Amino acid sequence: MRIDETTVGDVTVLMLDGRLVVGEGDLELRSRVNALSEAGCRKLVLDLERVPFVDSAGLGEIVRTRNTFNKLGGEVRLLKPTQRLRDLLKITRLDVWFQIFEDREAAVRF
């Protein structure tokens, strides 16, 4: 898993590239999210366009990210998740927890 970071105003965008699975991407995402939340970031967009597969650990990490930011008064949005991830979010009813965007410009408008 590779994670690139960019900032648009006061919004941080994490561009994930690779599988978000146990032992591969979940710990990297957790580490990055912890650092961002400790640094005061409150608006986060997870760009999932280049994430071909998410297992239960990866999904758990996305939910943990949302909960971490929510507790701090922040928000996490999802950008361009694959159809498979959208289906998984819908099946687990987690789709109501996230705002999901296909357009980057719209996603960073908080």
Q: Where are the domains of the chain?
A: 2-107
* pLDDT tens sequence across 1-10: 999 999 999 9
Q: 47: phi > 0 → left, psi -120 to 50 → alpha, else beta; which? A: beta
Give the architecture (CATH level 2) of 2-107. 2-Layer Sandwich (3.30)
Spatial distance between the Cα atoms of 102 and 17, rounded to a whole number of angstroms: 17
**Interval 34-66: pLDDT, tens:** 999 999 999 999 999 999 999 999 999 999 999
Using the CB atoms, write b or e for 43-62: b if 16+ within 10 Å. Answer: bbbbbbeebeebbeebbebb
Q: Rounded to two decimals, what is the model's pTM?
A: 0.95
